[in-house]
Amino acid sequence: MPATDYQGSSAPFAALGRSILSIRREQVHSMDDEAGAGGSALEIELDSFQRHVADLFQDLASSSEEFLSISWIRQLLEAFLVCQEEFRAILLSNAAAVAKPPLDRLVVEYLDRSVKALDVCNAIRDGIEQIRQWRRYLEIVLVAMAAEPAARAFGEGQLRRAKKALSDLTVAMIEDKEQSGSVLAHRNRSFGRTAAPNRAHGRSLSWSVSRSWSAARQLQAMASSLAAPRANDVATTSGLAVPVYTMSCVLLFAMSALVSVIPCQDRPLQTHFSAPRGFPWATAMASLHDRILEESKKRDRKSFSLSSSSSSSSSPSSGLMKEIYEMERCSRLLGELVDPAQPPIGGEKEAELRQRLLELTAVCDSLKVGLDPLERQVRDVFHRIVRSRTDGLDCLAQSST
């Protein structure tokens, strides 16, 4: 991703978690008080990190935002950024320990996962651009159907233009679904350049993913060898192995959730995720993962039912984002009403058509308002991961000095 001047998350999400600086100040005071009661400052700091991660994911699980909507996705990314900054602070304040085995090996494994996450962010950026393309078809429909005042009947020319735009949207979404199941798909490059042909798979820091890139394989690579730290590793690292594992789980969950909700090259149907229940955040994270899987199964059942019972072509879901589902639903229902070959629209049918147009307008407006801030947030996640990785490499470099 290219560099940006993104100034941070938007105001509605600022209250999700306390600011990093205020968290650190409260931790310092808490450590001073509790250390006198027998706990070391490091133990208290690590425990505070675990509890805060648990609070953030519990907030996500009980969020008032509609599940898998753009607002909910942004809340997830905000939680990730808070965790990332706290984790980065822990690494920097314990740089000497990071350079020593076995912690150095665990940190290297995390940094390798973070590189893979950068490619996921790039692919998600492509997916957001794809949704923008779909929204343009919706705008064509709305412009065509708004050509006449509401008091007048819809003309044949309006219906033909709207029908053509809806058909083009359906084809575009079906093609994207088919391409997302093939690692040989040729996707639009949202950054305007293609990847180098000799780039090593899974190690890219370029602006976009290659044609052979696979989200399923990338997530599988991130999940491989991810295991809870052994008791000996925890003891040897003074507990620092625990936040490394925690942040690895947060990273994997955030990336798998993004891949699930946004069109992505070779999206996996299911992503395996598990964490020992002994961690305070594990229950909430596992619950969210199960809800995402259940939503995926629900969408698949609805898509199969529609394609089996309806004579009109309905595109399967290309992502679990709520707004994408609403786009598909509204487009399908509107397509059944907008048929220039049928008799002139009037009465109840015309009233239903105008209601569907209002719903389509709401979907189009929500995408117009939400996609740009979401893209900036994904970009911010990308740059925060890069910065955290740089700091981790600097800590590891201390072993040679």
Q: Give per-residue pLDDT as tens, 236-277.
A: 999 999 999 999 999 999 999 999 999 988 877 666 677 788
Contact of 10 with 376, CB cutoff 8 Å: no
pLDDT at 298: 86
pLDDT at 36: 47
The answer to whether position 14 is within a domain reads: no
pLDDT at 120: 95
Distance from the Cα of residue 145 to its chain's centroid: 33
pLDDT at 268: 76
The answer to whether position 196 is within a domain reads: no
15: pLDDT confidence band, cut at 50, 70 and 90?
Answer: very low
pLDDT in tens, 112-165: 999 999 999 999 999 999 999 999 999 999 998 885 555 567 788 888 899 999
Q: Give the integer Cα–Cα distance in Å for 20 and 349.
A: 55
192: pLDDT confidence band, cut at 50, 70 and 90?
Answer: very low
Is the pLDDT reported for residue 311 higher than 60? no
Q: Which of 82, 107, 86 is nearest to 97 (CA)?
A: 107
pLDDT in tens, 322-375: 999 999 999 999 988 887 666 666 778 888 888 999 999 999 999 999 999 999
Contact of 248 with 226, CB cutoff 8 Å: yes
pLDDT at 178: 61
Q: Is 280 exposed, middle or buried (0-12, 13-18, 19+ CB in 10 A)?
A: middle
The answer to whether position 66 is within a domain reads: yes
Is the pLDDT reported for residue 296 higher than 70? yes
The answer to whether position 10 is within a domain reads: no
- Asked whether the bond before 344 is cis by omega within 30 degrees of 0, the reply is no
Helices 347-397 and 103-145 sit at what angle, rounded to 10 degrees?
160
> For 200-228, what is the mean pLDDT?
74
All residues at 6 or more sequence positions from 100 whose CB lies less than 8 Å from its CB, including other chains: 399
Which of residues 227 and 33 earns the better pLDDT score? Answer: 227
Q: Which of 277, 257, 203, 225 is nearest to 78 (CA)?
A: 257
- Contacts for 197-203: CB closer than 8 Å, 24+ residues apart: 202/115, 202/116, 202/119, 203/115
Residue 267: domain span: 47-191+210-400
The answer to whether position 40 is within a domain reads: no
Q: Give the integer Cα–Cα distance in Å for 201 and 132.
A: 28
Give the residue carrying structure tokens 């809806």.
166
The answer to whether position 201 is within a domain reads: no
pLDDT at 315: 38
Q: Give the integer Cα–Cα distance in Å for 79 and 18.
A: 11
Which of residues 223 and 310 earns the better pLDDT score? Answer: 223
Q: Which of 278, 288, 264, 369 is nearest to 323 (CA)?
A: 369
Helices 156-180 and 322-337 sit at what angle, rounded to 10 degrees?
140
The answer to whether position 204 is within a domain reads: no
The single-letter code of the amino acid at 262 is I
pLDDT at 329: 92
Q: State pTM to two decimals.
A: 0.81
The single-letter code of the amino acid at 348 is E
> For 313-327, what is the mean pLDDT?
74
The answer to whether position 32 is within a domain reads: no
All residues at 6 or more sequence positions from 107 whose CB lies less than 8 Å from its CB, including other chains: 91, 98, 244, 392, 395, 396
Beta-strand runs (E) in 270-377? none
Which of residues 328 and 177 earns the better pLDDT score? Answer: 328
Token digits of residue 183:
């690692």
Contact of 65 with 72, CB cutoff 8 Å: yes
| Side-chain half-sphere exposure of 331, counting CA atoms within 13 A | 32
pLDDT at 155: 80
Q: Give the integer Cα–Cα distance in Å for 243 and 372.
A: 32
Q: Which of 141, 62, 165 is nearest to 357 (CA)?
A: 141
Q: Give the integer Cα–Cα distance in Å for 107 and 279.
A: 19
Q: Is 73 exposed, middle or buried (0-12, 13-18, 19+ CB in 10 A)?
A: buried
Count: domains in the chain: 1
